[in-house]
Structure 1
Amino acid sequence: MDKLRPTIEAIKKYHFWVLCGALVLTVLVCWWMSTSGMAEQFNTQESKIKNAFSGVQGIQSGHPNQRTIDEIKKRDAELKQNVFEAWEVLYKEQKEKNPFPTEELGEDFQRQFETLRPQEELARRYRERYQNFIKERLPKLKKMIDALHPIEPEGDEAAGVPAAAGLAKGGELGGVGRIGGAEAEWVGVVEWLDADYAKLESKFFWQQAPTTLAVVHAQEDLWVYEALLRVIKNTNEGATNQNNAIVKRIEAIDIGSDAVAAWQSAENALGLQTTERTGGPGMQGGDMGGENLGGPGRTETGGTPEEQLNRQIMDLRYIDDKGKPLPYQPQYPHANHPYSEFKMMPISMRLVMDQRHIPRLLVWCANSNMPIEVRRVRLLKGAAPANTGSSTGSPSTRGGEFGGIPGGGRSMGGMEGPGGMGGMTGMGGMGGYRPSPMRGTEGQDSETGTHDVPIEIHAIINIYNPPDRDKLGKGAASTGPAEGAPPAPQDATLQE
């Protein structure tokens, strides 16, 4: 016992360090035992997972089960049949709601037109017949919407005065004009700016017999214009004059390449152009391309006269599923459409209307003879509409939103508004909207209501092609979206 006493005393003296050493040793032993077990389990599970993957990869991609293959083919055929039947229904509805002008052009023309195969030519007599028809048809577009027009004076007052001579549109305040010194009363519901209507007429003005491609697409344009004007007519249903109409003025109706330029102008104004959203060659930025898009008067160089004419008709006329305008291609059908079932045509309408009834207008767009898919609605409160007394104004020469002085506190027509927000280039003062007087019948020359504002609608019309089972699902979109293509304008209502 005496021999152990020194050892016990040493342990008592250094017991702390002894316990620390024992504790560390115990922890190390436990750690080694646990980690070795976990490592073994990890290796076991990893081996199982790898074996499972190897087993799946060993299965043939073309499964030898013929029953499964037959069922897949059956369902695929059923799906194609359903799509084709829907295509037939939509095309039939489009044809019924947009009838061919057989009465004016004749049944023989209709047969030739509807049975025309790709790249076939219409006989010259048919093309000349259409040239005469379109000249007589365009004025009926104004009658469709009951556009404002003067009642020509009768009797001695009108003697010796040509129909279009001496006509003044009511001076600065609108209302009553003069024909050869006689006052003319204006009647109708909607004012259609002369500059825009003249632009429409110029599209169908041919000095010689048009080509087959020009005739086919002119008729397509006519159907689209009629559909858009019918929307305005239905929106104004029940109106007896301009004062109680919902849509009071048509500032611009653009389709095809003209609408492309309008979309681009809107994107510039909204600041949506970024370096990340660029188009293809010659289309610098944005859904609708950039500054090289041009308009109906743009010129192209190179190629035969026929090819130049085809380019003028087809270039940027349609868009793809991403909202990118389709450039002209020399090969028929001169554009790489995303879908073989239908073509997508962009449209733009700039109107002055009662903003409380915008939903009504959009409903008629959806229920149109050619359904209109609205992508953007802009309330242009920063720009007053052009004075109706001007017969020469155009979107490119008016102030405010459509090309006026940059910023500032003065809106169009010389009507001064609050300074307030300067805004973007080409935009009037944000607080100074005062509607200009509307032209009406005698005693109806009051100003527009406080709810009347200029709006701009950007939309797409799907034009269905004749059903062809061989072309089902053969469009460019079936190969996937174009890399780097920008999206079309999203559904949105923006107030400026």
Structure 2
Amino acid sequence: MDQLKQAFASAAKYGFWIGTGTITLGALAIWFIVTGNLVKENTSRAGKIKGDVSAVSSLRSELNEHPNPTSKEAMDLLIEARQDEVLQAWQEVYDAQRDILVWPEEELTKEFVDEFRDLVPIEAHIAYPPEPGQEKPTSFLNTYAFYIKNVLPSIAEIAKAEWEAEFRSNSAAGGGMDAMMGGMDSMMGMGMGMGRGPVNIAGVEDVPLVDWPVGSQSAIISELFPWQGRRPTTLEVYYSQENLWILRQLLGIVADVNGDAKQPFEAKIHVINHLSLGKKVKFTAGSIQKPGVAMAGGMGGMGGMDMGMDMGMDMGMGGMDDMYGDMGGMGGMGGMSGMEAPDPVDNRYVDTAYEPIDGATLRSALESESPEDAPLKVAKRVPVMMSLQVDQRYIPDLLAACGSAPLMVEVKQVRILPKSAGASAVGAMGGGGGGGMGGMDSMMGGMGMDEGMGMGGGMGMDGGMGMGGMGGMGGGASQGPKEKFPLDVTVEVYGLIHIYNPPKKDQLGVELVTEDTVLDGETMAESAEEDLKESNGGNGAAGSGADATAPVDTPDSALPPPAGSEPDAVNPVDDANAPAPPAGEASVTGGSAATTG
């Protein structure tokens, strides 16, 4: 008994440690048994799942059609009906454009038109460089050069503007220097006008409804018809005519906005600063600034100088390239001496991501059977830009006219700038080689000296060398005459015009579409998933289908103002009845607002 008591006493003394060890060993044993069973069960179930997946995949590869013939037949009918709807819509827009994109038989003769009418798309009919027999007769090419020279004045009349720029229909020795001198003369004539224009019987000054500076006209000749001064090639004729159709439409938009206006004071659009299309148009996001940010030195109207200098540099370099090409191509040859001229379609069109594409890519897409090239087979996207001086109250009318035009402009970006920005841009372009006067006009426009500063008998530069734009110097009121159109701002509209190709369903590669086919930057499976989310109203539905590739800026109004900052002034677009800003101040400087379609 005593021995037993001693044993219990020892156990009681070390009972805690004995119990802890026993529990630990028991827990380890239980954990080992349980985890072993879990591993076995997990391995077994994973093997069963993989086996089922393999069986389904094997069955899918063996079945050529849906296992339920009734549902398969109904689904095929739905797909076929939807394809027919899309094809019908494509046919309708193509037919509508065929009635707009018309070659003029009266001016070019029926024989000429018959040679070009059915070359749609031109890239599928004429290679680059052209193969033997693809170039049209030189008589047709020369005819078209003279046609462009004669038709431009009537094109300007669409917007009730006056055409003053000179178009060189054929080359001659010294053509480049003649163009430069002609451009300087034009700029001198534009900037140093003496007195008022002619007055009609009613005592009203007889001037064009819309002012289109000759410098801007010369720039658009160099941009749209770079072959001036020589004989164009067949491809250049076709793209020039396409340029002419688009130019007609842009001027038609100006005419629609102005409506029945007879005098400039009745018009809503007063000045065409610049029109551009194709490779010169860049979809780049701008920035919104508060009024007065760009006027650090007290110089009113400096906000537009950046835009004007950028455009001037771009147009200036383009003009130099065009002149070099003309001088190299004297004698009627279509390129620079000893060098192959670039493909005229290079960077003319953009893809669905708004990135320029070269001619080789476009021609390859037209011949490809891949469904990923379908967007380029359906239509060619021409980027366009209009820089206009507009009464700010009618900016919505301008955008509405773009969307309702027969050759619709799909607006992608809108920039609202000070009025002086347009004047400096026109000056920076400098016309057809008038770089000196262009630089002076740019400086005067950027300094806000384009409206007032009367010099005695009305002699002025850009409307009178006015000091009205320099009201910020000295802190006093404007010393010159009042501004003619105080509510005007410069508006730049960037958009796309679609030139549709003939509908051909068999070239779209519909039967080759899979869930991995990429269109508009996403696979068909991703697109279907987004559509499903939108239809179910799930998270991320709002805006999930938006085009993430288009340049979009977030307006400042959508963001909370920084702490301690002053509130922004009223945007002229938001408040059409807002009073005009004081002299020397711009309501919006370097502004940019983008919308996507």
TM-score (norm 1): 0.67
The partner residue of 1:199 within 200, 219, 223 is 219
Cα offset for 1:177? 4.7
Report the equivalent of 2:591.
Answer: 495
1:41 corresponds to = 41
CA 1:335–1:404 in structure 2 vs 1: closer, same or farther (change >3 Å)? farther
2:286/2:591 contact within 8 Å kept: no
CA contact (8 A) 2:230 2:334 kept: no
For 2:416, the equivalent position in structure 1 comes to 379
3-state SS in 1 of match to 2:397: helix
- Partner of residue 318, structure 2: 295
1:95 equivalenced with 2:78 (yes/no):
no
Q: Which residue of 2 aligns with 1:218?
A: 240
CA contact (8 A) 2:274 2:386 kept: yes
Unmatched tracts of structure 2, length 5 or more: 127-133, 165-184, 289-312, 368-372, 451-467, 472-480, 522-547, 556-589, 593-597
The 1:102/1:149 distance shift into structure 2, 3 A limit, reads closer
What is the number of equivalent residue pairs in this alignment? Answer: 421
- The one-character-per-residue Cα deviations of 1:278-317 (angstroms, maximum 9, x if unpaired) are xxxxxxxxxxxx9999635425799x95576863632322
Distance 1:13 1:380, change over 3 A: same
Q: Tell me the distance in 2 between the aligned counterparts of 1:230 and 1:380.
A: 23
Measured in 1, the distance between the counterparts of 2:365 and 2:10 equals 103
1:343 aligns with 2:380: yes
Q: Aligned match of 2:113 in 94, 107, 110?
A: 110
2:483 aligns with 447
Shift in Å, 1:378: 1.8
Distance in 1, Cα, partners of 2:58 & 2:104: 64
Distance, in Å, in 1 between the alignment partners of 2:405 and 2:23 is 86
Question: Do the aligned residues in 2 keep the contact of 1:385 with 1:412 (CA within 8 Å)?
Answer: no
Equivalent position to 1:137, from 151, 155, 162: 151
Q: Secondary structure at the match of 2:376?
A: coil
Partner of 2:196: 176
Aligned partner of 1:466 among 491, 502, 505: 502
1:316 and 1:185 mapped to 2: Cα distance?
Answer: 44
For 1:323, give the aligned amino acid: Y
CA contact (8 A) 1:374 1:458 kept: yes
Answer 1 or 2: higher relative contact order, Cα 8 Å, separation at least 6.
2
Matched to 1:456, the amino acid is E
Corresponding residue SS for 1:339: helix
The answer to whether the Cα contact below 8 Å between 2:408 and 2:497 also exists between their aligned partners in 1 is: yes
Greater helix proportion: 2
TM-aligned CA distance change 1:29 to 1:191, over 3 Å? same
Paired residue secondary structure (2:494) = strand
Contact kept? 1:375, 1:458, Cα under 8 Å: yes
How far 1:372 sits from its partner (Å)? 1.3
Q: 1:228: how far off?
A: 0.9
C-alpha change, 1:46 and 1:382, in structure 2 (3 Å) is: farther
Q: Secondary structure at the match of 2:273?
A: strand
- C-alpha distance 332-58 of structure 1, shift in aligned 2 (>3 A): closer
SS, match of residue 348 in structure 1? strand
- Change in Cα spacing, 1:67 to 1:31, as seen in structure 2 (3 Å) is closer
Tell me if the contact between 2:216 and 2:429 (Cα under 8 Å) persists in the aligned partners: no
In structure 2, distance between residues paired with 1:386 and 1:378: 15
- Asked whether the 8 Å contact 1:376–1:457 carries over to 2, the reply is yes
Distance 1:455 1:76, change over 3 A: same
Q: Deviations over 1:219-256 (max 9, x none)?
A: 11110001111111112224343334322211110112
Match of 1:318 among 349, 352, 355: 349
Deviates more, 1:131-140 or 1:24-33: 24-33
Query: What is the deviation of 1:331?
Result: 10
Letter in 2 for 1:376: Q
Distance 1:141 1:75, change over 3 A: same
1:287 maps to which residue?
Answer: none
**Secondary structure of residue in 2 paired with 1:198:** helix
1:101–1:12 Cα change, 3 Å: same
Partner deviation per Cα, 1:258-288 (whole Å, 9 max, x = no partner):
33xxx27x56999xxxxxxxxxxxxxxxxxx
Contact 1:131 1:209 in 2 (8 A): yes
Cα distance in 2, alignment partners of residues 43 and 165 from structure 1: 86
The 1:34/1:330 distance shift into structure 2, 3 A limit, reads: closer
Distance in 1 (CA, whole Å) between partners of 2:64 and 2:364 is 42
Residues 365-444 of structure 1: pairs in structure 2 closer than 5 A: 365-381=402-418, 384-386=421-423, 393=430, 411-414=446-449, 434=469
- Structure 1, 73-82 or 55-64: larger mean CA deviation: 73-82
Label 1:199 to 1:12 Cα distance change in 2 as closer, same or farther (>3 A). closer
Range 455-464 or range 328-337, more displaced = 328-337
More displaced, 379-388 or 210-219?
Answer: 379-388
